[in-house]
């Protein structure tokens, strides 16, 4: 049992497989080897997982040191249930291609939206020029 | 390189005496590659020569690989002569590019080959980029490799762990470079390590304790291990397999933190701290550093750890040192901060129960195969992190760690309830003041550097959350300045005071019963101070612009200030404010045209109205009907065109109606009722006269208005008014009854 009840600590999570979601949208999966008081993480045998639709692809990345403030959330992966997923793993090239296609489609629809708004005299600031939050 | 091809290590030829072992290693490399490929992608380098084995960084294009192969062939030809040359050579070339790493290996000879290499490189650059160009240099290789056991069964961490362990013998000790943090023990065949000039240099360097750059890397295991002379310690045991390729070792300079190396060459048993031996892998046990330490434990090698930021202000006793903590006197209460008492109780209970082994997660699927990388974070390090976290919990400020505070409050409440119900026979043991951490210094919360703008963020491990103080400590008094500026300044000052009052209020509600009266007094004093500072006084219409209170009210924040202050004020003062606002309503409404923030005041004023006596109500209403010197319109009429105004009016009328229709004796002053009736008629008249278009919808339409009008007016007028006021069908029924 956690000997700091009422608080959250990553101490119990050391050496376990985790899924980490970063602020830039990346998903990392790796063994959590080390932490510090800022929740900076050291991930071992890390794999970056890209999801597009029902498919995903893993890119092996090695060791990651993640600055704590960039983590949105993380959670332990249940190794028993890990393979029990409806998602289909594909090769890296395929998933990157799918991602590219998805990005393109999004950009195009965004462009159309902006165009339509412009015609109506409205302008929405681009997301990348806005503050993150 | 085809799958399963052997990487050629040039240095094999440099230390000739190690050739026999080399051959063994060469065979192992094959297996190595499989593992490497799994983690880092297939290496395309395709040198198949048995003799020459250059180390290839995975990103190398096939063409470059060929080049390197040629280079190594050339190197081969030079034979043993190269060995001496290479050994004599100087600095490892610390180039960042991966392709250039190969040159590190070959050094002098490379320069010739380099030209050869680059030529070929340039030729073949473009086609080589395509397959490699996944747009991300970190993507080593994306080629289908044969599925490894690891990928198919996630429970398997390393399918070759068992096979490689026996192969390492004492010679591997030589490969151990304790200076390098987490140097790879077994993953790199020792000769290759020694042949790496970089490693050689490091080994020959003086002991690492003098090397500041490595200090922060130097975990206790390093210190405890000492320098190279201790390499041959017989008790040393290697654990990890060759999980990381030699190439990675080569790519780094010895000074760089070897982040890509496989970590933790030591087994837990080698740790100099037997205190946590039992707790190594099995989760995390009770906070043993917090109690007086038994004398048999030897002090750990490093008394100071340099993890994370090294703050000169850190008390060395903070870090785990049994001798130091044994000096801590548990029984003396002190000025030291402490954990939440409930938390302390839990901790002491735990200590009393002794170090029970923590339950290991039953889902440890890989338990038959020990995770070779487990324990990278030593228990000392975990302790340290936990210590810092505990320090973070100790805070005077209620806002820090809301969940921690709430958790314990709820726990206490539950226990108190249970106690009440008689389930618990004895009280909890009295609060223990466990001097967990002694704050050696007073923390300077706001650091101002002369001539700088704003504050410098100062956060130590004592208060890691405190970046800057949002409260402005040095309030600058402005002598001159426009009215508006002064008004704004006053608002800010008063707001700060108001926030303190609200804080007091909040603390009061959480504090035990006995403390409440004195807190209440304190709070009232503060509130009184703010009220006085508002400088509410009677003023004529000409002076309205100059009146300080009204100036405040012209600013949106000033309205917010007043709105938030109203609930805390005593009745008379609140009513005074209401009176003032109503008196100057036209002025305020005029000033509010841009902001439209008057409705902020509606809600608190509504509350005030709801508690007024009839006479006071009449007084307020009278303000609305006094004629204005400069305008033919009544304030009343103007109010009808303003959302706040009409809402306030309705609120006043509604309250009056409520008072009249209730049974409470009104104690009116003389002439009150006549005033009232006049008021109602006046309102009705104005309402009917005002064109519907300029009539504004109020913030809230009280339901008893129509019944009020019913009493005094005829049906026709009522229907007319009803239409004007856009009452709901339900209310119109009330009209029907009239």
User: Is the pLDDT at B459 greater than 70, yes or no?
Assistant: no
| Residue B496 buriedness (CB in 10 A; 0-12 / 13-18 / 19+) | middle
Q: Which residue has the higher pLDDT, B670 or A11?
A: A11
A46/A105 same-domain check: no
CA distances in angstroms from B574 to B530, B532, B602, B606, B621, listed in the order given: 13, 13, 13, 11, 16
How far A124 CA lies from chain B's nearest CA (Å)? 24
Q: Which of A15, A46, A56 to mutate to test the interface with B (most CBs of B within 10 A)?
A: A15
Using the beta-carbon criterion (under 8 Å), do A3 and B287 form an inter-chain contact?
Answer: yes
Q: Which of B20-29, B634-643, B709-718 has the highest mean pLDDT?
A: B634-643
For range B712-719, the mean pLDDT: 81
B142, B182, B287: best to mutate for the A interface, most A CBs within 10 A? B142
Query: How far does the CA of residue A60 sit from the closest CA of chain B (Å)?
Result: 5
Interface of A with B (CB under 8 A): 1, 3-9, 11-12, 14-17, 31, 33-38, 42, 44-45, 59-63, 65, 78-80, 82-83, 91-93, 96
Pair B709, B657: CB distance under 8 Å: no
- Torsion, Cα of B10, B15, B19, B24 (10° steps): -60
**A6 and A61, same domain (yes or no):** yes
Lowest-pLDDT range of A62-66, B262-266, B530-534, B550-554: B262-266
Q: Is residue B736 within 8 Å of residue B727, measured between CB atoms?
A: no
| Residue B539 buriedness (CB in 10 A; 0-12 / 13-18 / 19+) | middle
B511 band by pLDDT with thresholds 50, 70 and 90: confident
Structure tokens at B680: 């109602």
- 3-state SS, residue B58: coil
Confidence of residue B512 (pLDDT cuts 50, 70, 90): confident
CB pairs under 8 A between A and B: 110
- Better pLDDT: B578 or B543: B578
CA angle B731, B733, B735 (to 5 degrees): 80
Name beta bridge partners: A73: A21
d(CA B688, CA B315): 79
Tens-place pLDDT, residues B635-671: 888 888 889 998 999 999 889 888 888 877 777 677 8
Contact residues for B705 (Cβ-Cβ < 8 A; gap 6+): B650, B653, B654, B657, B725
Q: Predicted confidence band at A105 (pLDDT cuts at 50, 70, 90)?
A: very high
Distances from the Cα of B667 to the Cα of B655, B659, B731, angstroms: 15, 11, 30
Distance (Å) from the C-alpha of residue A69 to the closest C-alpha of chain B?
13
Q: Is A11 in Cβ contact with B385 (below 8 Å)?
A: yes
> In whole angstroms, what is the distance from residue B26 CA to residue B6 CA?
7
| Interval B232-253 mean pLDDT | 43
Average pLDDT (B327-331) is 37
Alpha carbon of B255: minimum distance to chain A alpha carbons (Å): 18
User: pLDDT grade, residue A90 (50/70/90)?
Assistant: very high
Q: Are residues A32 and A82 in the same domain?
A: yes
Phi, psi of A55 (to 5 degrees): -110, 155
The stretches of B107-170 forming alpha helices (DSSP H) are: 108-132, 149-152, 161-165
% of chain B at pLDDT higher than 70:
41
**Choosing among A26, A37, A83, A89, which should be mutated to test the B contact, i.e. which has the most B CBs within 10 A?**
A37
Residues A132 and A116 both lie in one domain: yes
Question: Do both A85 and A95 map to the same domain?
Answer: no
Residues A98 and A67 in one domain: no
A105-119, B186-200, B483-497: lowest mean pLDDT where? B186-200
pLDDT of res. B360: 45
Domain shared by A81 and A105, yes or no: no
CB pair distance less than 8 Å for B389 and A36: no
State yes or no: pLDDT of B7 exceeds 70.
Answer: no
One domain, residues A82 and A96: no
A44 and B38 within 8 Å at the Cβ level: the answer is: no
Tell me how far apart the alpha carbons of residues A101 and A110 are, in angstroms, rounded to a whole number: 14
CB contact under 8 A, A33 and B343: no
Report the 10 Å Cβ neighbour count for B519.
15
pLDDT tens digits, B68-89 = 455 555 445 444 444 444 444 4
Are A100 and A54 members of one domain? no
* Both structure tokens of B268: 């837990």
Q: What is the pTM of this model?
A: 0.40
pLDDT per residue as tens digits for the range B191-223:
444 555 554 554 555 544 444 444 444 344 444
How far is the alpha carbon of A116 from chain B, nearest alpha carbon, in Å? 32
Which of the pair, B41 or A20, is modelled with greater confidence?
Answer: A20
Give the pLDDT confidence score for residue B338 in this predicted structure: 59
- pLDDT tens digit sequence for B464-491: 666 655 555 555 555 556 778 888 888 9
Both tokens assigned to B44: 């395309």
Report the half-sphere exposure of B198 (CA within 13 A, side-chain side): 26
B374: nearest Cα among A28, A76, A58, A32: A32
pLDDT of residue B168: 43
Put simply, the answer to whether B464 touches A60 (Cβ < 8 Å) is no
- Specify the CATH number for the domain of residue A18: 2.30.30.100
User: Closest Cα to residue A19, out of A7, A27, A11?
Assistant: A27
Q: What pLDDT does residue B39 have?
A: 54
The token pair at B305 is 């750890």
pLDDT of residue B154: 55
- Is residue A53 located within the same domain as residue A102? no
Question: B358 contacts in A (CB within 8 Å)?
Answer: 1
Burial of residue B299, with CB atoms counted within 10 A of its CB: 0-12 exposed, 13-18 middle, 19 or more buried: middle
**Does position B99 have pLDDT exceeding 80, yes or no?**
no
Which stretch, B128-142, B218-232, B522-536, has highest mean pLDDT? B522-536
Check whether residue A33 and residue A6 sit in a common domain.
Answer: yes
Asked if A73 and A22 sit in the same domain, the reply is yes
**Chain mean pLDDT for chain B:** 63
Read off the pLDDT of residues B244-278 as tens digits, 9 standing for 90 and up.
444 444 444 444 444 444 444 444 444 444 443 34
Strand partners, B372: none
Q: Do A79 and B389 touch (CB under 8 A)?
A: no
What per-residue confidence (pLDDT) applies to B397?
66
Which residue range(s) make up the domain with A83?
Answer: 1-89
Per the structure, the count of domains in chain A is 2
Q: Are B183 and B258 in contact (CB under 8 A)?
A: yes
């Amino acid at each position: 049992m956690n000997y700091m009840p009422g608080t959250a600590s990553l101490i119990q999570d050391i050496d376990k497989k985790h899924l980490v979601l970063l602020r830039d949208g990346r998903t990392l999966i790796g063994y959590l080897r080390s932490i510090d008081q800022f929740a900076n993480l050291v991930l071992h045998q890390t794999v970056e997982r890209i999801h597009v639709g029902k498919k995903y692809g893993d890119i092996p990345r090695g060791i990651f040191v993640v600055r704590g403030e960039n983590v949105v959330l993380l959670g332990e992966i249940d190794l028993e249930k890990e393979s029990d997923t409806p998602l289909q793993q594909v090769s890296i090239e395929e998933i990157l291609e799918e991602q590219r296609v998805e990005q393109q489609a999004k950009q195009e629809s965004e462009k159309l939206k902006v165009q339509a708004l412009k015609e109506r005299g409205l302008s929405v600031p681009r997301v990348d020029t806005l503050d993150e939050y | 390189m085809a799958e399963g091809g052997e990487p050629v290590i040039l240095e094999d030829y440099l230390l000739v005496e190690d050739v026999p072992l080399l051959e063994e290693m060469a065979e192992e490399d094959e297996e190595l590659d499989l593992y490497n490929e799994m983690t880092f992608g297939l290496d395309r380098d395709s040198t198949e020569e048995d003799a020459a084995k250059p180390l290839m960084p995975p990103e190398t294009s096939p063409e470059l690989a060929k080049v390197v192969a040629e280079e190594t062939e050339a190197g081969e030809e030079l034979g043993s002569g190269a060995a001496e040359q290479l050994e004599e050579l100087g600095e490892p070339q610390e180039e960042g590019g991966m392709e250039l790493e190969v040159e590190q290996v070959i050094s002098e000879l490379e320069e010739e080959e380099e030209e050869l290499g680059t030529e070929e490189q340039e030729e073949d650059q473009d086609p080589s980029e395509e397959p490699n160009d996944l747009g991300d240099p970190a993507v080593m290789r994306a080629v289908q490799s044969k599925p490894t056991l690891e990928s198919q069964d996630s429970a398997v961490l390393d399918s070759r762990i068992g096979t490689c362990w026996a192969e390492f013998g004492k010679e591997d000790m030589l490969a151990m470079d304790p200076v390098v943090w987490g140097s790879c023990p077994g993953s790199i065949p020792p000769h290759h390590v020694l042949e790496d000039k970089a490693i050689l240099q490091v080994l020959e360097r003086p002991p690492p304790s003098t090397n500041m750059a490595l200090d922060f890397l130097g975990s206790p295991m390093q210190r405890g291990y000492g320098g190279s002379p201790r390499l041959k310690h017989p008790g040393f045991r290697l654990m990890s397999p060759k999980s990381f390729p030699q190439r990675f070792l080569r790519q780094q300079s010895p000074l760089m933190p070897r982040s890509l190396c496989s970590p933790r060459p030591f087994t837990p048993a080698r740790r100099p701290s037997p205190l946590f031996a039992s707790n190594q892998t099995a989760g995390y046990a009770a906070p043993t550093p917090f109690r007086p330490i038994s004398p048999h434990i030897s002090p750990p090698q490093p008394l100071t750890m340099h993890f994370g930021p090294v703050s000169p202000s850190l008390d060395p006793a903070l870090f785990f040192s049994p001798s130091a903590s044994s000096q801590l006197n548990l029984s003396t209460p002190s000025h030291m901060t402490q954990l939440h008492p409930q938390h302390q109780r839990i901790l002491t209970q735990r200590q009393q129960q002794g170090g029970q082994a923590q339950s290991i997660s039953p889902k440890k699927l890989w338990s038959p195969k020990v995770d070779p990388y487990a324990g990278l974070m030593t228990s000392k390090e975990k302790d340290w992190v936990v210590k810092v976290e505990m320090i973070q919990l100790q805070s005077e400020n209620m806002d820090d760690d809301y969940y921690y505070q709430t958790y314990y409050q709820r726990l206490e409440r539950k226990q108190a309830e249970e106690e009440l119900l008689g389930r618990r026979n004895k009280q909890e043991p009295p609060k223990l003041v466990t001097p967990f951490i002694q704050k050696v210094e007073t923390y300077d919360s706001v650091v101002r550097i002369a001539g700088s703008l704003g504050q410098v963020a100062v956060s130590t491990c004592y208060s890691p959350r405190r970046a800057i103080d949002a409260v402005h400590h040095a309030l600058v008094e402005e002598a001159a300045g426009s009215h508006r500026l002064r008004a704004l300044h006053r608002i800010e000052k008063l707001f700060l005071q108001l926030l303190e009052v609200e804080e007091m209020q909040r603390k009061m509600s959480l504090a035990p019963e006995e403390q409440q009266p004195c807190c209440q007094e304190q709070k009232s004093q503060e509130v009184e101070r703010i009220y006085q500072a508002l400088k509410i006084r009677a003023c004529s219409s000409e002076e309205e612009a100059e009146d300080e209170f009204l100036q405040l009210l012209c600013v949106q924040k000033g309205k917010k200030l007043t709105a938030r202050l109203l609930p805390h004020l005593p009745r008379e003062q609140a009513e005074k404010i209401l009176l003032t606002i109503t008196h100057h309503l036209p002025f305020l409404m005029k000033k509010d045209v841009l902001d439209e923030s008057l409705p902020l005041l509606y809600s608190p004023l509504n509350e005030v109205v709801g508690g007024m006596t009839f006479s006071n109500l009449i007084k307020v209403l009278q303000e609305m009907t006094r004629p204005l010197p400069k305008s033919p319109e009544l304030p009343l009429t103007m109010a009808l065109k303003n959302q706040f105004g009409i809402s306030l009016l309705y609120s006043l009328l509604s309250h009056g109606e409520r008072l009249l229709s209730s049974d409470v004796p009104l104690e009116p002053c003389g002439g009150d009722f006549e005033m009232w009736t006049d008021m109602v008629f006046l309102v009705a008249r104005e309402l009917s006269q005002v064109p519907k278009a300029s009539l504004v919808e109020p913030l809230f339409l009280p339901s008893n208005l129509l019944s009020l009008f019913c009493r005094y007016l005829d049906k026709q007028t009522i229907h007319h008014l009803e239409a004007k006021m856009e009452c709901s069908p339900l209310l119109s029924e009330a009209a029907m009854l009239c």
